[in-house]
Amino acid sequence: MSASLIITEIYASVQGESSFAGIPCTFVRLTGCPLRCRWCDTAYGFYGGTEMDFEAILGKVSELGLPLVELTGGEPLAQKNCALLAERLIGNGHRVLIETGGSEDVSVLPEKTHIIMDIKCPGSQMHERNLWTNLDHLKPTDEIKMVLSDRDDFEWALKIAKDHQLMSRFNVLLSPAFGLLQPKDLAEWMVAEKLNARLNLQQHKYIWHPRAKGV
């Protein structure tokens, strides 16, 4: 039997975040997540979904016709066949990104996967779920994202970045939690601290309604 995954949605849009922001991309949203971040904007992906075999998933991705594909969730790595799907997509010639919350083992992913991994700050109420050994499996080209809700999260992020030398090892993204921290404030703090990091805004929430699905 063909391998399968539980899928919430597959759609084409522009990439809203990371160093790939603004590039047309196909999103494959896997269902389910073991985390419950305070500001999660994809809670609709926690449950339900449709079981799809790989041929159906790959067929839909091929139909949408974009070279860039992102695996997202929920938490895509919570489903064991996620890494195998990444391998199949890479084999089909796609550039594959994965957005992962940082609580699941990233070492299972193919080497060519571009990993965008969260480190959860205290404001998320999930920071105790960070799997710190993941830092040993990231490549210098991979990205670490920290979503900040306030100045306390910012100070925590600075300490974590210093303790693990994140900004010299990886591409670091600092994101204001939408509706909780003003981008202007975070931008000013980053400039004042002279950080080697990227201000990461969720472009799709400025282009479309913040709660819009399939964009």
pLDDT in tens, 26-71: 999 999 999 999 989 889 999 999 999 999 999 999 999 999 999 9
Angle at 182 between CA 178 and CA 188, to 5 degrees: 135
CA torsion, ordered 201, 68, 111, 53, to nearest 10 deg: 110
What residue ranges define each of the domains in the chain, with the CATH number in brackets?
4-207 (3.20.20.70)
What is the per-residue pLDDT for 205?
77
In sequence order, what are the beta bridge partners of 115? 98
**Residue 85 is inside which H or E element, if any?**
helix 82-91
**pTM score of the predicted model:** 0.94
Average confidence (pLDDT) over 163-178? 97
pLDDT in tens, 179-190: 999 999 999 999
What is the per-residue pLDDT for 107?
98
DSSP output for 24-58: EEEEEEE---S---TT-S-GGGSS--EEEEHHHHH
Q: In whole angstroms, what separates CA 202 from the centre of its chain? A: 11
